[in-house]
Structure 1
Amino acid sequence: MEDMDETTAEPDADAIRDGFAGQRMLVVPRTDVARALRHPVTGKLLVTDAGCFPHAARHGRSRPRGAREHLLLVCTGGAGWCRVGDVRTAVSRGGAVLLPADRAHAYGAAQDDPWTVWWFHFTGADADDLARAALDAAGGPVTHLRDPAPVASLVSQVIDALDSGLTVAGFTRAAGAAWHALAQVIATGRRGPGPSLSPLERAVEHLRATAPQRTAVSALAAMCGLSASQLSALFREHLGVSPLQFQVQLRMAQARELLDGTAMPVAAVARRIGYEDPMYFSRQFTRRHGMTPSAYRGR
């Protein structure tokens, strides 16, 4: 085992498991996990826990007996480390860590530059094969992604899916995003340096892929390895709007497409693009376009 310096020390009694400013986390109750594993669809691949810990100072976990599920972590900023057996590996931005179920491990944030880490636990009938494929592709539990933002975006979609409800539909959406994230790790791990999208391009790509789902500026910035103020400055400099205003633009573009190309009622259009209150949607649409949704369709 490598010598450890003071910036990457093993977690101690004061290590923090969660509770970080701006974090997102969802833990599926174990009764719901057991029920979902018995279902013929959700039992194939099931996400049981997912989250994002931004700038997670003093974050650390040690599991001498491993976890019950497989675990994927992706670092989008800062640094940390992981230990599997007697091998300890530094993890920097772009690092992806795949920890097999029931295998002893520990991991934590660097003290001088704590990581921002996106993660999810997964199990199910197909989980072992996916985990084995990811480990084989990476040549071990730690690999490097040239661009971690697409995988972080997919983990965000996993969280959104579970947050929408612990139903067959929610579990299936989460499993789809998780499968895609693991496929990205398998396909893009161990790549050398090369051109990649800029932070602004990665943010825009995520917003386009997940619209009309709203994404908090802090979560969007964490995917891109920036602070919320840095990302907002990039949006204003290059796009002329804030990240939130850009999301509104995307939703309104979808509304125009639906009003132009379908016969959906205005209330249904509002719900499709993420507005539960049709009156609020109509006010927002009128403010932006100078006419009501009905007038726009009539024109």
Structure 2
Amino acid sequence: MDETTMRHPHDGSAPELGEGFPGQRMRVLPQPLVAHARTQPATSQLLVTDAGFFPRAARHSTTRPHGAPQDIVMICGAGKGTCSMLSEVHPVEAGDALIIPSGTPHRYRADRADPWTIWWLHVTGPATSGLFEAMDATARQPVVRLRDPSRVVALVDTVLRRMERDETASSLVAAAGAAWHALALIAADRSTTAGDRAEPIETTLEFLRANIAERVSVPELATMAGLSQSHYAALFRRATGFGVLEYQTRLRMASARELLDTTDRTVGSIARQVGFADPLYFSRQFRKIHSLSPTEYRARKGR
């Protein structure tokens, strides 16, 4: 055989592991335990049913004509491969997360010359759809580029280690928590495709965070990123969920809250430190976000 097909009991077929991969790790929960865990409060929203690690998985190939009963999350740590879904072929490279929604027919395979090393989870529960939506991951666009894949891999490893430990309720809860953290991190730290120029956007975000008190205009930021104003503004909103002005204001207010919580400085002094020359205008902006004036906020905190 020139391929190794990895099937799992939850796929509805008998497991056929072949020779496997040197150093591989894998855990699959028995179906009765899955059914029970899905009724428990701590694992009803998100449950890990399968988890594994396949290092340099030469000839790895899996075909599911009817999809999997669970959602699949795969992190490519090295090498590369492809996933075919909805008549499209998607390259998967080191630093990518591959998201396969449940019930979606697919086939994925390692590259013959440079086979991937992958960490993977099968997850089920109503929470996954919202997390996938936050990733912008769909069956049409299943590959998510990660800015820091090592952090996600560490969490998936935590899932696997807890499942390797035993099948107690505490281990399932710990695995579910680490998986939820991993999916949330993919959503929060995802990069965009190279064509969307993710790095210049991140550079300007870092500049804004380092210069909270300085009001920087969209034209200045767009020039810094090497983009047109309209393109920059669109990518900025996609990356943060806010317009440029609102993002800067919220950065300033976060710093103001810290100063109100941890110092006895006057509101006017705090306003100036976070970039507002007019304390009254600062107070109005603070109230718009918090529904409280700075003085009321401090009093509620007991200072």
- Whose Rg is larger? 2
What number of residue pairs does the alignment pair up? 184
Q: Which amino acid aligns with 1:140?
A: Q
Contact 2:75 2:120 in 1 (8 A): yes
Q: TM-score, normalised by structure 1?
A: 0.57
Instruction: State the secondary structure of the residue aligned to 2:77.
Output: strand
1:187 to partner: Cα distance: 1.4
Contact 1:137 1:189 in 2 (8 A): no
CA distance, structure 1, for counterparts of residue 85 and residue 5 of structure 2 = 20
Contact 1:70 1:131 in 2 (8 A): no
1:102-126, Cα deviation, whole Å (9 max, x unpaired): 0111111000000000000000232
1:285 corresponds in structure 2 to: none
1:15 corresponds in structure 2 to: 4
Q: TM-score, normalised by structure 2?
A: 0.57
Q: Which amino acid aligns with 1:42?
A: T
Contact 2:4 2:59 in 1 (8 A): yes
Q: Which amino acid aligns with 1:132?
A: E
CA distance, structure 1, for counterparts of residue 149 and residue 139 of structure 2 = 15
CA distance, structure 2, for counterparts of residue 134 and residue 189 of structure 1 = 7
1:43 to partner: Cα distance: 1.3
1:189 to partner: Cα distance: 1.7
Of stretches 143-152 and 173-182 in structure 1, the one that deviates more from structure 2 is: 143-152
1:81 corresponds in structure 2 to: 82
2:135 corresponds in structure 1 to: 134
Q: Does 1:47 align with 2:48?
A: yes
1:41-93, Cα deviation, whole Å (9 max, x unpaired): 21111000000100000001111111000010010101111111111111111
1:130 to partner: Cα distance: 2.2
Residues 76 and 69 of structure 1: CA distance in aligned 2, closer, same or farther (over 3 Å): same
Q: Which amino acid aligns with 1:189?
A: R
2:167 corresponds in structure 1 to: 166
CA distance, structure 2, for counterparts of residue 66 and residue 129 of structure 1 = 20
CA distance, structure 1, for counterparts of residue 100 and residue 139 of structure 2 = 12
CA distance, structure 2, for counterparts of residue 139 and residue 20 of structure 1 = 30
1:141-197, Cα deviation, whole Å (9 max, x unpaired): 111113311111111000111122212211111011101111111112224676xxx
1:276 corresponds in structure 2 to: none
Instruction: State the secondary structure of the residue aligned to 1:75.
Output: strand
Instruction: State the secondary structure of the residue aligned to 2:178.
Output: helix
RMSD: 2.2
Counterparts of 1:213-292 in structure 2 under 5 Å?
Answer: none
1:134 to partner: Cα distance: 2.5
Contact 1:94 1:145 in 2 (8 A): yes
Q: Which amino acid aligns with 1:168?
A: A
1:67 corresponds in structure 2 to: 68
Segments of 4+ in structure 1 off by > 6 A? none
Instruction: State the secondary structure of the residue aligned to 2:136.
Output: helix
1:13 to partner: Cα distance: 7.8
Unaligned runs of 5+ in 1: 1-11, 195-299
Instruction: State the secondary structure of the residue aligned to 2:115.
Output: coil
Q: Which amino acid aligns with 2:172?
A: F
CA distance, structure 1, for counterparts of residue 124 and residue 4 of structure 2 = 26
1:229 corresponds in structure 2 to: none
Contact 1:42 1:168 in 2 (8 A): no
1:272 corresponds in structure 2 to: none
Q: Which amino acid aligns with 1:15?
A: T
2:94 corresponds in structure 1 to: 93
Unaligned runs of 5+ in 2: 7-16, 200-303
1:40 to partner: Cα distance: 1.9
1:102 corresponds in structure 2 to: 103
Contact 1:67 1:101 in 2 (8 A): yes
Contact 2:63 2:107 in 1 (8 A): yes
Percent of matched pairs sharing the same residue: 41
